[in-house]
Amino acid sequence: MQRHRAVIVVAAVAVAVGIGSAVVAQASDGPGGNASRHGQDARTFVGYWMGIDPLDGGDSRRGITSNGDRTFAVIGRDTIFTLCDGTDRAIVTVGDAHVVAGALVSDNFVIKCINTNTTVTLKVRYDVIDKNIVRETTTTRADPPQPVDKIIFHRVSAP
């Protein structure tokens, strides 16, 4: 009798834990189940990234953060901006990147040249190569887009 009661208690606890886990998992997904997907995307892309531009040998850095609206922001600097007369006087910004088919993409990769007070706007795509390695591909916004650059970045810091 004692053993039978113990088996029933253990079974009831297992069922309760299983139901509770399912409710918590469903609630964390929110409508449509996208919250956990965005969390996974954030873990993939958010961090501080460093790479070498193969076109000019410059040191390239990018910081990627998650916005509150399921988009991502990018801020960056390079030691050489070929599109800004070859100086380091520029800043890269993206405010509306989003994940499409596993890649982080935006049509608003803005290079603000401080020395000439001009801006260059490109398309950007970050493809995951391996854990903590992405490839940044920039193209023109023309139709069809023309390639501008490809840089391999390594994540050196993550939240």
Q: Are residues 115 and 85 in contact, defined by beta-carbon separation less than 8 angstroms?
A: yes
* Per-residue tens of pLDDT for the chain, all 159 residues: 555 554 454 444 444 444 443 333 333 333 444 555 667 888 999 999 999 999 999 999 999 999 989 999 999 999 999 889 888 889 999 999 999 999 999 999 999 999 999 999 999 999 999 999 999 999 999 999 999 999 999 999 998
Task: Verify that 136 and 58 share a domain, yes or no.
Answer: yes
Task: Verify that 32 and 91 share a domain, yes or no.
Answer: no
**Domains held by the chain: number:** 2
Task: Verify that 113 and 146 share a domain, yes or no.
Answer: yes
Task: Verify that 60 and 133 share a domain, yes or no.
Answer: yes
Task: Verify that 101 and 67 share a domain, yes or no.
Answer: yes
Task: Verify that 18 and 74 share a domain, yes or no.
Answer: no
Tokens found for residue 7:
């088996």
Identity at 127, one-letter amino acid code: D
What is the residue range of 139's domain?
46-157
Task: Verify that 27 and 62 share a domain, yes or no.
Answer: no
What is d(CA 110, CA 92) in angstroms, rounded to the nearest whole number? 6
CATH number of the domain within which 143 lies: 2.40.128
Task: Verify that 50 and 75 share a domain, yes or no.
Answer: yes
Task: Verify that 27 and 100 share a domain, yes or no.
Answer: no
> Which pLDDT score, from 0 to 100, does residue 38 have?
63
